[in-house]
Structure 1
Amino acid sequence: MSMPQENIKTYLKDNLLIGDGAMATWLYRLGVPIGVCYEELNLSNPEIIGTVHRSYYEAGARFIQTNTYGAHRDALARHGLQDQVQRINRSAVQVARRAVGDDAYVVGGIGSINAGRVRNMEQIGTYGDQYEEQASALLSENVDAILLETFLDVDELLLALDVIRPLTDLPIIAQLATIEVGRTRDGHTLTRAFAELVKAGADIVGLNCRMGPAEVLRSIEGAVVPEDTPLSVFPNAGRLAMSDGEYSYASVPQYFGDSALRFRAQGARLIGGCCGTTPEHIRMMAQVLAEREPLPRVNPEVQIEEAQTPIRVVPPVRPKGIVDTVTQRHTVIVELDPPRDLDTEKFLQGTAELRDAGADAITLADNSLATTRMSNLALGSIMKTKLSAEPLLHIACRDRNLIGQQSHLMGLHALGINQVLVITGDPARFGDLPGASSVFDVSSFDLIRMIKQLNEGYSFSGKPLQQRANFVVGAAFNPHVRQFDAALRRLEKKVEAGADYIMTQPVYDQETIELIYQGTKHLNIPIFIGIMPLTSSRNAEFLHNEVPGIKLSDEARERMSRYEPGEEARREGISIARELVDMAMDRFKGIYLITPFFYYQMTAELTRYIHEQSNLGLSAQK
């Protein structure tokens, strides 16, 4: 077979083109271990890369991708190779050219930088230089086209097109990877996505990775492909499985051959394979499609509005709860730690007393200090249903991966618990199970954004939900840092991410209250000042001398030193806390009381005091 001397898009007008298959999973089957930088093998072991290219070429592929999926600065930096972008990409083109015949197109492959990570538009916006750098290296070796593949988000793929399109007149293939059938992670239908990609300069559009032939077929059956735009499909070999420590895929070559005929019937003209596919999969497709002509694409009938209306047409529900309350009067949140054992009786007694004292919400930590405690979700549900107390649950980034986080939040929604505080969480090695893993799939900024996405009616993956959540999302602020201005900038980013209110770490002096007030008065969301009453002189000295950033006044320490541990010391601790409350109430309408050592009688008394003072203030205004 002799390939016409014309670009790929022109060739595809009248011909089918067989693409190659997987690189990484085939290298794995050849004995290259996971964790190796496969792209670096273009330099250190070009023979094995050439062998893979040649095996696909001999199987019938005439569209050969360079081994450069992750050869951008970000991915190479994980292996200390960030300065080798040019060498690795240029070598990859050379290796591919040597391995295959002149009748094959050699295409420069560029993978998504953000694939597999949490969607973060602020971060995605910084990737342009990396795409330009990689594309420039590939183009310098005269590739026949550029392939942009495995992009979960249309926004990132549009960014890549924006910086690469001006560099070349060669065809650019733009391939999305979808988690849900027919819709991208950032919420676009494929109809809308394909239209946007062609408008931005893509010559060929399609799908690769994530899904096997059946789900890819369902996706393209329901999508409108812009007129005169070739369609490409590179599915996985079914779903990934692991057995006896080995990775495997289910789809056999014969099934791929049958699927190739179905893709042709849908008008696909560039057909290859992605993860799990082997030369045998490609050989079967090539044999089945041999001597067949392409079929015209027949788009499904859709409403015009589908391609024109932005996906996020439903405005988010305005959250209600403590955010509304604090705009009307002083509002009190009280923290009460979940128990470390299986007995809930004392916890529920404390909850009832705090409720009766007037706490607007009772907040439950999420295994604070990385110490194992009872599930705050279970306790929140019990206190809401049995005691009619309003729970506010902390959600730590530490303990759950993204699957667990979304599942947890969906459970909260089902239980009618909608007030949450997002925190990073102390590392597990500092807790009572130091061998436990700290997950940290996302930062607190990411999790705030993702919870707000649930409020808009979309799952973390971008899938539309049948209902919208109504979470009121809080963020934590620690003023006890050396660089207070830097902490403020971090806080502002949390507000930008969507935080509805702020809760501070406990404050023990009036100077810090004033500092927080001056630093946050430009923010138009409620600030809840944290106050935790002292219980003894030993408690005061520990906080002052051993907890980073916390300093008590000499007066407070001297006052606590007058008393032996016991009731009188706690009375003095309440007295000092009242003085802090008085100042805080002059500047903030939100007070966050932290119960020390489960002495909930102390925070109940302070709660009553705050409401008394607040009522006096309202009466005076009248």
Structure 2
Amino acid sequence: MKPDLRTALALKPRVGDGAMATYLYQLGLPVGVSFEEFNLLKPDVIADVHRRYANAGAEIIETNTYSAQHNKLSRYGLEKKTEEINAAGVAIARRAVGQEAYVVGSIGAVRGGAGKNVRTATVKRDFEEQVGALLAAGVDGLLLETFFDLEELSLALSIIRKKSDISVICQFAVEDAERTHDGIPLPEAFRRLKGEGADVVGFNCRSGPNGILRAVETLPRDLGLPLSVFPNAGIPDYVDGKVVYSATPEYFASSAIRFADAGARLIGGCCGTTPEHIAAIAKALQNYSPVQIAKAPAEAPEVRQSIDVASDLSEPQSDIPPTELEPSIVDLVRERHTVIVELDPPRDLDIAKFMAGAQALKEANADALTMADNSLAVTRMSNMALAALLKERVGIRPLAHIACRDRNLIGTQSHMMGFDALGIDHVLAVTGDPAKFGDLPGSSSVYDLTSFEIIRMIKQLNEGIAFSGKPLKQKAKFIVGAAFNPNVKHLDKAIQRLERKISAGADYIMTQPVYDPELIVRIAEMTKHLSVPIFLGIFPLASGRNAEYLHNEVPGIQLSDSVRERMSGLEGPVGRAEGVKIAEELLDVAMEHFNGIYLMTPFMAYEMTVSLTEYVKKKSAHLTSVN
């Protein structure tokens, strides 16, 4: 007879299961429906998913009841079936795995995303109804997952403890590695939950293994509770109309050992994970022996490009008046080496660090600063506003990304008209990461336009024609860029896709970062027939962990084995120095084949891209004098 769940988690690391909703999506089931209703409509499909995870080695199986609450089910007219759906979820899981695995009832937050304004009385009612149904159906434990705020998680836990002494796992979804969404330091939040009766505390969703490991490492080892971790399979990408994840099962296997060493006793997967990921975790933990490791200092939260950090710098004021920014970036790159540097807008209202970085890059003679449009679907300051400030205060050319995700046709044309009025004429058209995986998961991805269509529509404004086909009173002057990911198995197919973007009207190309000199040469050879210039992406690595995160979790980025080896174990100034050195070596190759260089700033460490901009300018001057 197996021990109860509380005892089992205290003995050794246990394997949790993986995603339900995203896995059903991968199996071909539609989105925009209630996956919890499948407990009634497609019970055999749900049972099959549970069996697949159990066969992969999962010892804890979650019921398909994450959103099976009155308020959420009411969106589909299912609120009167709340108890039935929850009971069916438990019965399906139990039938699928029998007594071989623990069945825990999954309960998601009622608030969060678009539900922030749900009244406390409604939240309480929904938790009481769902908890009662799951307990009555005979679960082995309850899993409170993807909670953003301590207060709501505490309320759900208190309702459970009034009804039962059952094992309870409490998991936050965090963006900041040190505190909850409502600003409570994580150690304080977990100690409070422990005092209120939580048996296990931890994290799920929002981040891949790297981000959740950072959060785990901020916790003191004296919490006195087992930890649980259920990371996503990296950052989702939107490819050909489908959401895909990049983190491999092999990466999850190595991450499982790091989690176990850091104190985790329940390790599974969230969005994007599959039975293959869980099988890799189970195999990695099969003969696991705990080791004592030193606690690493926490670094900045994971991001694909740059994040803002606290700064006491005052906002720089340039004595350079606004200038006519001619010739265009396309004209420049046809004549000489030209540097575009990415500097992401801040996630709060403090622009001091951003403006200081912009000023430093201006002084380093960067030719343009490019700003993402809420990259990774994380809310940032408007790049339109910052682009205007760059022109006015710094005197450097802004280049703004335009994502298809956030605006419908009306909003997109309005947005472009605003850029034209401000004299901001350089843009990069991108698809945009899906909204549901950002910091406001209740928001919608619009995608009225594809990246091909948005290029055509923006170039249509240059003809003085609105998106509707009606004439405008004057013509816009947009220089439109397109994104290109060369880190793919079939480069020829990626180039064919790129040719379509050029046919749609793209004036220049900006690539994802490349870390392989041989690939740089291949790209040059295979794109020499193209009629538009290419800005080759170079992203200096900040640390060994940063390198592994980018390689395993970020769509469109692949590091060479030699680069990963060189960065392995390097942190802090030593890691950044090696990252710059590697970038310089890549630039040596890139500048032989491309005039366009696109530098990305990691963790808002603009000193790194300032150094690399100066390197390009100095090397370019030398090459010019030699020739």
TM-score normalised per structure 1 = 0.48
Q: Which has the larger radius of gyration?
A: 1
TM-score with structure 2 setting the length: 0.48
